[in-house]
Amino acid sequence: MKFKKVLSVLTCATLIFTASSPLISAAAAEETDYTIVNPYECVDWDKWDYYKANLHTHSVASDGDLSITDMVQLYYSKGYDILAMTDHGVINHGWNKERETNGIFNYFRKAEPMSDSNYERITTGSDRNGRGMIDIKGGIEMNMAVITKTHVNGYFTEYGQGEWGKENDYRSSVAAVDEAGGFTVLNHVGDWVNSNNFPERSHWNVFISYFGNIFNDYRSCLGMEIINNTDNVTKADRALWDELLQVVIPNGRNIIAFADDDSEYISDVGRSFEYFLLPENTEENVKQAMQVGNFFA
């Protein structure tokens, strides 16, 4: 438990410095009142536990190489506790449920659901000392057919099935999921900004303004990936994230950082992940933590 407490102090200190730094410079010019919000305030460090998660996962239901069963089993075998399937244009209603796929990815192959017996085994952890891996429902990656890769993950949503998306547009998907009552996360924005090749673009006002307006307009857009897989396309996204925090914090909101595999192949699994701090590993607790930010990425 000492490790948990020390880690919490270090993380909170880092968060406080990051969150307050733009406001400190403003205070140098004039007095400013501000409040520091600690996303770990709810955590009982003596009783809660860590749960490893991946929230960006693909299968043969879109452009993944593995079946739904094999991809889920792979994460389970590697000790994960939380998994969201987010196939392109395909809503996950459950690993063991039939899903409507799209011809753009599935003309020659079928995405078979997991058997009920395997679903029961994995979600209850019957062969893992009772430590089950939970199935996050309503997961989907939207803008499935755009060339510019303006991909947005939806969670706990019924929007996006079969929607091709619009080029150079994150806002429409965010707005639609917001209206449907779900949540979104912006994926690998460095792909669109092209900041992996030109890091200075992370500091361009045109991008800061564009994403800042989305985050200010839609509280249901929880955050953005600051690490995607090996960090090749997102290596400058943490700089953009810092710029965006300076835009949204004065309006009383945070941008939560996510790190996920975006897995399509076996080799993608286990490269980027979150550790959720929860009293119990349930879908509802994960949903709440995604909104508050009581996890490490």
Asked whether residue 10 is assigned to any structural domain, the reply reads no
Tens of pLDDT along 65-117? Answer: 999 999 999 999 999 999 999 999 999 999 999 998 887 776 667 899 999 99
**CATH classification of the domain holding 54:** 3.20.20.140
Q: Is 41 contained in some domain? A: no
19/40 Cα distance (integer angstroms): 14
Task: Report the alpha-carbon distance of residue 42 to residue 86 in Å, rounded.
Answer: 28
Tell me the whole-structure pTM to 2 decimals: 0.88
In a domain, 37, yes or no: no
Average pLDDT, the chain: 91
- Does residue 139 sit within a domain? yes
Closest C-alpha among 81, 73, 77 to residue 54: 81
pLDDT of residue 10: 36
pLDDT tens-place string over residues 137-185:
999 999 999 999 999 999 999 999 999 999 999 999 999 999 999 999 9
Q: Flag whether pLDDT at 16 surpasses 70.
A: no
Q: Does the structure show a pLDDT above 70 at 280? A: yes
Report yes or no on 1 lying in a domain: no
- Helices and strands, counts by H and E, the chain: 9, 10
Cβ–Cβ under 8 Å, residues 287 and 45:
no
Domain count, the chain: 1
User: What's the domain range around 134?
Assistant: 47-296
CB 202 within 8 Å of CB 243: yes
11 in any annotated domain: no
In a domain, 249, yes or no: yes
Instruction: Give 245-273 pLDDT, tens digit per residue.
Output: 999 999 999 999 999 999 999 999 999 99
Beta strands in 178-285 (DSSP E): 183-186, 221-228, 256-260, 274-278
Per-residue confidence (pLDDT) for residue 103, from 0 to 100: 73
The confidence score (pLDDT) of residue 102 equals 82
- With respect to residue 19, please indicate whether it lies within any of the assigned structural domains: no
